[in-house]
Amino acid sequence: MSTVQAKPTPTDSLKAQQALINKRFDSLATGLQKLSRTNDSLNKELTYFRAKEDFYVMAVDRQGSHFEWFIATLITIAGLISYSYFSRQFNIIKGEGEAQLNSFKEEHNLMASDYVKVKIDLYSKIAKITNNIDVYNSKNRKSLLRQLDGLNLRLGCIMFAKEAYMLSKGEEREKITDDIANYVIRVNNKLDQIDLELKSVEDKSTYIGIIKKRYENSVPVFDVLISQNNSSFSSKLAATKDRLSQY
């Protein structure tokens, strides 16, 4: 006897479809739960990596600040050391320079003093040599022209002695003062000899012209020495100047 299968009813078909939908819904819910857990895990990891990144950024910034501070400190220390070194070197060089300058000034003053002494000695010796030349010439020739040459030489003695006198001081000046006083006496002695020779000359104009020329050349020298108000020669020079102006 054959078995007859029952035909599914519409209700059974609907239940089967509903069961299939429920199964698919459960599968979708399960997938969503897994996706949610995965998303939560990813968010946690992302949060971790962000925190880690922030930490490294802060650490790098902090290290950068420390490094900048360290570099700035090194530069400051180097600057202080450099300033101290150069300041010390500058003071050393400055001290050496000042010492050399003072030494140079001392040497310069010594040289200047020696130079003045040399000039004084030179002028004094020229004056004496000039006087000796006249003494020698007077012994060998006694003509009027020779006497006039002698007058020029003795006036020259006063001129050179004046230069030495103006440079000298103290005892050295006293010696030159005595020399000038003697040269003034010798000039007047020479004028006495010239006056004696002129008495025998008819045309005196040429000789007097020579004497006036010598006088004009000597006036500046006489005036300087007269202004010194030296009791040993100033008044004598004033009288000699007046005598020469009478020719």
pLDDT at site 66: 67
Task: Quote the pLDDT of residue 141.
Answer: 62
Cα–Cα distance for residue pair 147/191, rounded to 1 Å: 8
pLDDT of the residue at 231: 92
- Yes or no: say if 124 and 177 are a contact pair by the CB < 8 Å rule: no
- Rounded to whole angstroms, how far apart are CA atoms 247 and 166? 29
Q: What is the model's pLDDT at position 4?
A: 46
| Token couple for 150 | 């002698």
- The Cα diameter of the chain in Å comes to 213
pLDDT at 2: 45
CB-count exposure of residue 7 (10 Å: 0-12, 13-18, 19+): exposed
pLDDT at 104: 75
| Residue 188 burial by Cβ neighbours in a 10 Å radius (0-12, 13-18, 19+) | middle
Q: Which residues of the chain have pLDDT under 50?
A: 1-4
Position 14 scores a pLDDT of 66
Q: Where do the domains of the chain lie?
A: 115-245
Summarize pLDDT for 43-60 with one digit per residue, the tens: 777 777 677 677 666 766
Q: What is the pLDDT of residue 220?
A: 94
